[in-house]
Amino acid sequence: MNIDMISEHASPLAALGGADAGGQNVHVGALAVALAQRGHEVTVYTRRDAVDLPDSVPFARGVTVEHVRAGPARPIAKDHLLPYMAEFAARLSRQWLTTPPDIVHAHFWMSGLAALEGGRDHGIPVVQTFHALGSVKRRYQKEADTSPPERIRLEAQVGRDAAAVIATCTDEVGELSAYGIRPGGVFVVPCGVDTERFRPEGPVTRRGDRPRILTIGRLVPRKGVDTIIEALCHVRDVELVVAGGPDRADLHRDAEAVRLRRLAHDRGVAGRVVFTGQVPHEDLPALIRSADVVVSVPWYEPFGIVPIEAMACGVPVVASAVGGHLDTVIDGVTGLHVPPRVPGALAGRLRRLLTDPRLGGYLGAAAAAHARDRYPWSRIAAETEAVYDRVIGPAQDEIVMAGGARS
């Protein structure tokens, strides 16, 4: 197949760790490569956010990234991109007039808007992955939600108009049902992990003698790093490494980093908290292997790639019992669940793990085996391809019925 992916704000070429660069960037890039390895040709369309970016960049064998001129060629927060989606759609439509793909896979709701509008006159089927839903964001962030006010209405329309929706976890299926999206058109295909890079064996980042707790992710309040710092008050003689955010030299200018550092100082644990700043994705396996436990305790989580990266490295995970974590982290088998925003409960789980090496070893081994079996990108690509086949199949059958022969 010729597959076009639309990822309007999350380029697979972007450096990870910024406000709008995280799991979706990894997902789009890795899925595109895995599909290409299955013999498909994949083009990823993302918005041009710098004047010096070339129109087209080879990403991997069989994968190309195209930079679409839509709005100013500078970084713009994703919640401010909606006014430029009509231009994005128009450019896609012109491209597809001469080189239509067999199927379009849109990532995030605004990509879905652009894909559906751009493909409307060409009869190209669109598969949609939301990665995050406005209804969930509004529920948890309330007045702090900076999404466009029309997001939920438009997002629901995208889901209803798409040929199929790929949900990344079972929890999302219920949210999509509340949008009025037909259950028969929703398929659960999780995110994946590079099990060749993320594995128990390999280099380990140097560390001190203290047990190490590690958390990785963008520095935004919903990720719950403050909960981990609060829990650290009740877990003695351990260090917390916080990886993510801007470059280390710029952390003093990041509002969330400043808030978290102040909290650590106020709680008397600043000497046991290390902020690394942005860590290149290729350096994450060694950092993860240096930890005794990886903690991921956001308020909500559409999927959460970090827990499965940690699991693949054989490191036990403590995760909040929300969203995608309910699928990926099997409580008591591949990790431990805690309620979100409850530092005392988190401290109890951490003390249990850190004082019982046998438990940590059991959970880590089971996690690595589960990650290798369920989450390699080769399997995720095969399951995604199966959804594409279901979408394209009926259209091909209609051509045969109408014309008597496959065109």
**Residue 144 sits in the same domain as residue 265:** no
337: CATH: 3.40.50.2000
The CA-atom distances, in angstroms, between 4 and each of 40, 292, 394 are 10, 41, 19
Q: Which residues of the chain fall short of a pLDDT of 50?
A: 17, 20, 397-407
CA quadruple 74, 80, 81, 87: dihedral sign: negative
Strand arrangement of the beta sheet that strand 239-243 belongs to: 273-277, 239-243, 212-216, 293-296, 317-320, 335-338
Q: What is the pLDDT of residue 144?
A: 87
**Residue 46 sits in the same domain as residue 123:** yes
**Residue 6 sits in the same domain as residue 123:** yes
**Residue 12 sits in the same domain as residue 126:** yes
Instruction: State how far the Cα of 287 lies from the Cα of 279, in Å rounded to an integer.
Output: 9
**Residue 216 sits in the same domain as residue 161:** no
Q: What is the pLDDT of residue 21?
A: 55
**Residue 391 sits in the same domain as residue 329:** no
Owning domain of residue 304: 212-374
The CA-atom distances, in angstroms, between 317 and each of 204, 208, 219, 296, 368 are 18, 20, 19, 8, 11
Residues 31 and 192 sit within 8 Å (Cβ to Cβ): yes
**Residue 385 sits in the same domain as residue 320:** no
**Residue 270 sits in the same domain as residue 291:** yes
Q: Is residue 197 part of a domain?
A: no
**Residue 158 sits in the same domain as residue 262:** no
Q: Is residue 94 part of a domain?
A: yes
What is the number of structural domains in the chain?
2
Instruction: State how far the Cα of 137 lies from the Cα of 314, in Å rounded to an integer.
Output: 31
> Could you tell me the pTM of the whole model?
0.89
Residue 105: exposure state from Cβ atoms within 10 A (0-12, 13-18, ≥19): buried
Phi and psi at 282, nearest 5°, equal: -70, -15
Bridge partners for 346 per DSSP: none
pLDDT 10s digits, 244-303? 999 999 999 999 999 999 999 999 999 999 999 999 889 999 999 999 999 999 999 988
**Residue 93 sits in the same domain as residue 115:** yes
